[in-house]
Amino acid sequence: MVFSRLFFIYIFLPVCLLVYAAARGIKQKNTVLIIFSLIFYAWGEPAFVLLMLLSAFVNYSAGLLIEKHRGKKGDTAATAFAVVFDVLMLGVFKYSGFIVENVNALFSLSIPVPHIRLPIGISFYTFQTISYIIDCHWEKVDTQKSFKNYLLYLALFPQLVAGPIVRYSTIEKEITDRKVAVSDIAYGLNRIALGLGKKVLLANQLSIIVGNTLGSISTASVLGAWYGAAVYGLQIYFDFSGYSDIAIGLGRLFGFHFDENFRHPFVCKDITEFWQRWHISLSTFFRDYVLYVPIFGKRRKYGGLFLVWLCTGIWHGASWNFVLWGLYYGVFVCLEMIIGKKRMKKIPVVIRHIYSKAVIIVGFGIFYFEKLGELGTFFKRIVGVGTSELIGLQDKITLTNNMYLLIAAVICTFPIIDGIKKLSDRSFAAKSAVSSLTALCSAALLLLSSIMLVDATTNPFLYFRF
């Protein structure tokens, strides 16, 4: 099931909220959420519900064993078993075909390539299970004794299929003790409307431009290639941050407080800052669980850094362009680390902005082209090789026809809402006016998005495939 479908917005969610409100006590409410979460996940892939339940049972059981054998070999063995199980499960479903293809190419073999359908959300809920197991081993969280409560944590439908990657520690107490105030409902509904608007009114429309530019990279002009990659970056941002907004808003309606996953990443002045603002739940996961992994028996500063970025690239997909994409960002983050924060700040702000945006745009180009031949063509086009055109006629037409959309998209990357909230804190009258305006804008976004979704073909969130 997809958030950006009229069925979810006007049938599934209202029914879920009504049944949830009618349930008495936290145990009944949790049961309602588990049932609706399983229905939500099974809507398109009923067979894979069993896989998720298996993952939940194995990791729940491992958590109990860690608690039982605390400080002994059994603790380490249970932790290792669970992590290996999780990684292998993700590897089989996501990377087995990629591995076999490359083994065949490297050793001139003809091993049959498995074509295994990727379960939606497996990359996200697998990382949640891993974070839970490691935190139990490190004694950062208490082991969950109830399988029902653990299943709620893992299967909670707002964040199940495309994140953010919610740590158990974030909602540990709220699983058994939470309340929903009127302010939570207002915040949740406003956040859902904002996310839906990002997806339907911006991301879906920007995708058309991307298809017209990067989709025909062999005939693209120099500026056309840069333009297409930049618009693709905007598309991914509004698509994924829109999903995160909806997930955070839905969580708030049920009393859960999820961490932010995006903080206006395009206002960054360098690549390190960009990744402190982009897909925060993923970058902090690798920072906390991978960065300090010993390499050849020692913790290595730059070795750990490149391991993080290698894993970041691989996590996004079974394709060499994602590996290259991860290492590409690793190089720039490493360079900025070598230069140092103080010397980076001495560089004029304008130059830092130009540098960071150029690196980011090229990065989105690498992310887009999964076929290495097309990626090579993209690299040639952005430096003017293979084309004599600085900008093509079709690029001019596309740019002119979508000028208002592009301007709106760029404006929406800035922290405008944060600025308005700061102004509203100055007085009660200002706060009331901002609240009324927010409600009005949210209603308008919901109405416009609903109109756009009528008779629309299915356009799932991009991160469903990761």
Catalytic residues, by residue number, are 316
Q: What would the two tokens of residue 223 be?
A: 């500026």
Rg (CA), the chain: 23
- Contact between residue 218 and residue 247 where contact means Cβ atoms under 8 Å apart: no
CA 188, distance to chain mean position in Å, is: 19
**303 is written with which tokens?**
């070795």
Place of tokens 């599934």: 12
CA 363 vs CA 202, 223, 413, 439: distances in Å: 21, 16, 18, 37
CA distance 58 to 74: 15
Distance CA 187, CA 166 (A): 19
Q: Is the peptide bond before 164 cis (omega within 30 degrees of 0)?
A: yes
Q: Which amino acid is at 42?
A: A
Q: Estimate the share of the chain in helix, then strand, then coil, as percent rounded to the nearest 5.
A: 75, 0, 25
Q: How far apart are CA 386 and CA 380, in angstroms?
A: 7
Is the separation of the CB atoms in 284 and 92 below 8 Å? no
The C-alpha atoms of residue 202 and residue 193 are separated, in whole angstroms, by 13
Q: What letter represents residue 158's amino acid?
A: P
State the Cα–Cα distance between residues 74 and 137, nearest whole angstrom: 11
> Strand, helix or coil at 258?
coil
**DSSP assignment letter at 207:** H
Adjacent-strand bridge partners of 295: 298
- DSSP 3-state of 298: strand
CB burial class (10 A; 0-12, 13-18, 19+) of residue 91?
A: middle
Q: Which token pair is 72? A: 């002994």
Give me 112's structure tokens.
């049959």
